[in-house]
Amino acid sequence: MKNFSGNVLFLDRSDINTDEIIPAKYLTENSKEALKPYLLEDLVLKGFDPRKDISGKHVVVTRGNFGCGSSREHAPWAFEVNDINMVIGEGFARIFKQNMFNCGMMAVELSPDTIDHIFKTCGGKATTIETDFGSQCMIIRADGFEEKIVFSISGFDKALVEKGGWVEYADLNY
Amino acid sequence: MGKTTAEKIFDAHTVDRPFGDITVIRLDAVFCHEITTPIAINDLVKRGKDRVFDPDKIKVVIDHVTPAKDSKTAMQGKILRDWARRNHIKDFFDIGRNGVCHALFPEKGFARPGYTIIMGDSHTCTHGAFGAFAAGVGTTDLEVGILKGVCAFHYPKSIKININGRLKKGVYAKDVILSIIGKMGVNGATNKVIEFTGNVVDDMAMEERMTLCNMAVEAGATCGICYPDMTTVSYLWEFIKGDYLSTEAALEDYQQFRADPDALYDNIIGLDVSSLEPQMTYGFKPDQVKPVSEMAGLPVDQVYIGSCTNGRLEDLRIAARVLKGNRISDSVRAIVSPATPKIYNEALQEGIIGIFMDAGFCVTNPTCGACLGMSNGVLADGEVCASTTNRNFNGRMGKGGMVHLMSPATAAASAITGFITNSALFEKIGG
Ligand code: SF4
């Protein structure tokens, strides 16, 4: 199973699309590793500099409809090769979410209120998230603040994470 | 209780229900192109599983960058080509016979009512125009599809959009779908299937239904679906005539995939399009939609007519009607990419290619090219493109470029003037 804990990268906007996560011009690469330098290259967001702000981060916290647009699995891969295996948001585009779990990664949905609360209390501060996959909860810490948040993922998504992805799961079952 | 079209298709294809509403379905077709398939192929090879579930059900095309523009895209083509050969996939379309996947595959009769189809491409929803369940997936889903012929989805929930009334002259399927996305938002149909019904859809040709379904994903939908009818049967007849005694018999068979009148929907939306004006997008999201009249006068640098949304013969005909006898403005460059060789050839026979060339358009080979900013018309920083494509994300056609989505008629009119222009000024459509 992959690691779902570590420093948080905040992306405070809804509808961040897969072209912003990894621009189409890099889709000519035939290996996942080659995508590493280009993650979020085209994301224009106040206070965000992809060249400085990605390194050392392991979890993304964002708003709604994350990963909309193209079906490119290069988007989860670009996160994966940067050691980011979990994205937390209000909601995700269908294909992006499925791609994350298909790779044994996690796209975790929390209520808009909870997401807003996290942004208000932790946004802009050095923040870490410690995830306990078994009990489906995480502890979020920032500058003296600490809170336990319970999340839920479906039985299928849980099985995909445990097996390491959909290829492994399907190979066993079909 | 009745069922929606997607529910009927799922029930006829269910292999497993491992968790809750997760449904593993058997696939009738797996479509592949050179951008999202090579990594799946490489992974299968690495796992020692370089095989396919059924070579006849896998359809392959090189379309996104063709001819190859550099060593990397050449390698993507090579990986796909070599793989198709060693796995005996006969429906492989290389340059000369290739075209934009969602225009080419329907033309070959690969999308049929009741089919389940996946492809590593979000606009796979286009094929729902045939009454199929067709969904874009990522590379891992594609890999499992290639290997096992199955894919997992949530049991489908549907939204029905009833489109009624009579479209005004100069208003097309593209304007209808843009206005729908403008109302629903980019997230309005996430995880849902959209059934498009109503007299406007009944009257549409297959090409227009494909335009409608093509952009369903821009509202987040898994698939857009139109009910199979005689229009569908006639389009497919050359491919299915061996299977049925008559077109009526085919239609009767396909009726099984029509939704029941008492099917349950998440939402039913009624739309009267009689007063709809030509629409276009103004921002970096496909739901940022306005009437063209409100944007008129905005200068454009490039006009692009093509793609899986509006690169079909009827689209070229519409643009040619506007262009005939006119020349494009000196301030713009204009590119047309007929979506398939068949479309190109028919456009040539009908004199449409000549009209484009006389107007000053560059005519390219069938390819996605400019649509995703890969080749054949990439924008420079700060440039504006009037485009018949389906996606206007920041950087989509080139870093720093702005893409305005619109119908072929509006794009053609804008090419003539050099700024956003309502096609009514030029359109010469008889009664
Ligand atoms: S034409 Fe554009 S939207 Fe359609 S398949 Fe090609 S790249 Fe994708």
Ligand 1 proximity of B62 Cβ (cutoff 6 Å):
no
Residue B229 and residue B353 share a domain:
no
Domain boundary among B271, B295, B325: B271
Sequence-distant (6+) residues with CB within 8 A of B169 are: B424, B427, B429
Residue B195: CATH number of its domain = 3.30.499.10
Q: Specify the pLDDT at position B427.
A: 76
Residue with structure tokens 């040619």?
B320
- Flag whether B381 is in a domain: yes
Cα B368 to ligand 1 centre (Å): 5
Q: Choose the closest CB to B36 out of A71, A103, A159.
A: A71
Residue B135 and residue B59 share a domain:
yes
3-state DSSP assignment of residue A72: coil
Q: Do A159 and B144 touch (CB under 8 A)?
A: no
CB-CB neighbours of A38 under 10 Å: 18
Q: Specify the pLDDT at position B429.
A: 52
Q: Do A24 and B372 touch (CB under 8 A)?
A: yes
Assigned fold of A6-173: Aconitase; domain 4 (3.20.19)
pLDDT tens for A28-75 read 998 899 999 999 999 999 999 999 999 999 999 999 999 999 999 999
- Report the gap between the CA of B322 and the closest CA in chain A (Å): 31
Domain boundary among B228, B251, B271: B271
Q: What is the mean pLDDT of each run of 10 residues along chain B (431 residues)?
A: 97 97 98 96 96 98 97 97 98 98 98 98 98 97 98 98 97 98 96 98 98 97 98 98 98 97 97 98 97 98 98 98 97 98 98 98 97 95 98 93 98 98 79 34
- Report the gap between the CA of B303 and the closest CA in chain A (Å): 20
| Chain B hits for A102, Cβ within 8 Å | 138, 140-141
- Flag whether B276 is in a domain: no
- Flag whether B53 is in a domain: yes
CA–CA distance, A119 with A114 (Å, rounded to integer): 9
- Flag whether B38 is in a domain: yes
Question: For residue B365, what are the domain limits?
Answer: 281-429
Residue with structure tokens 């497919």?
B236
**Interface mutation target, options A38, A68, A105, chain B, most CBs of B under 10 Å:** A68
Q: Are B409 and B278 within 8 A, CB to CB?
A: yes
Residue B402 and residue B265 share a domain:
no
| Chain A hits for B374, Cβ within 8 Å | 24-25, 27-28
pLDDT tens for A122-173 read 999 999 999 999 999 999 999 889 999 999 999 999 999 999 999 999 999 9
* Domains in chain A: boundaries: 6-173
Domain boundary among B218, B240, B271: B271
Residue B364's Cα: distance from chain center in Å? 19
Residue B288 and residue B230 share a domain:
no
pLDDT tens for A92-107 read 999 999 999 999 999 9
Backbone angles phi, psi at A134, to 5 degrees: -60, -45
In this predicted structure, the answer to whether residue A8 has a pLDDT above a threshold of 80 is yes
Q: Specify the pLDDT at position A30.
A: 83
Burial letters for A103-139: b for 16+ Cβ neighbours within 10 Å, e otherwise? bbbbbbbbeeebbeebeeebeeeebbbebebeeeebe
Counts for chain A of helices (H) and strands (E), in that order? 7, 7
- Report the gap between the CA of A75 and the closest CA in chain B (Å): 10
Ligand 1 proximity of B101 Cβ (cutoff 6 Å):
yes
Say how many domains are in chain B.
2
Cα B332 to ligand 1 centre (Å): 23
Pair type for strands A145-150 and A137-142:
antiparallel
Sequence-distant (6+) residues with CB within 8 A of B198 are: B161, B162, B163, B164, B271
| Number of cross-chain residue pairs from A and B with Cβ atoms under 8 Å apart | 142
Residue B115 and residue B196 share a domain:
yes
DSSP state of A26: G
Cα B372 to ligand 1 centre (Å): 7
User: Any chain B CB within 8 A of the CB of A32?
Assistant: yes
Q: Do B22 and A24 touch (CB under 8 A)?
A: no
Minimal Cα distance from B188: which residue of A?
A: A65
Q: Specify the pLDDT at position B431.
A: 34
Residue B212 and residue B162 share a domain:
yes
Give Cα separations from A1 to A9, A33, A39, A99, A163 (angstroms).
21, 19, 23, 16, 7
Minimal Cα distance from B17: which residue of A?
A: A156
Ligand 1 proximity of B167 Cβ (cutoff 6 Å):
no
Q: Are B100 and B311 within 8 A, CB to CB?
A: yes
Q: Do A94 and B15 touch (CB under 8 A)?
A: no
Ligand 1 proximity of B308 Cβ (cutoff 6 Å):
yes
User: Any chain B CB within 8 A of the CB of A156?
Assistant: yes
Q: Do B399 and A23 touch (CB under 8 A)?
A: yes
Sequence-distant (6+) residues with CB within 8 A of A127 are: A7, A8, A10, A61, A140, A141, A142
Q: Print the SS3 string covering chain B.
A: CECCHHHHHHHCCEEECCCCCEEEEECCEEEEECCCCHHHHHHHHHCCCCCCCCHHHEEEECCCCCCCCCHHHHHHHHHHHHHHHHCCCCCEECCCCCCCHHHHHHHCCCCCCCCEEEECCHHHHHHHHHCCEEEECCHHHHHHHHHHCEEEEECCEEEEEEEECCCCCCCCHHHHHHHHHHHHCCCCCCCEEEEEECHHHHHCCHHHHHHHHHHHHHHCCCEEEECCCHHHHHHHHHHHCCCCCCHHHHHHHHHHHCCCCCECCCEEEEEECCCCCCEEECCCCCCCEEEHHHHCCCECCEEEECHHHHCCHHHHHHHHHHHCCCCCCCCCEEEECCCCHHHHHHHHHCCHHHHHHHHCCEECCCCCHHHHCCCCCCCCCCCEEEECCCCCCCCCCCCCCEEEECCHHHHHHHHHHCECCCHHHCCCCCC
- Flag whether B215 is in a domain: yes
What are the DSSP E strand ranges found in A36-118?
57-62, 86-89, 106-109
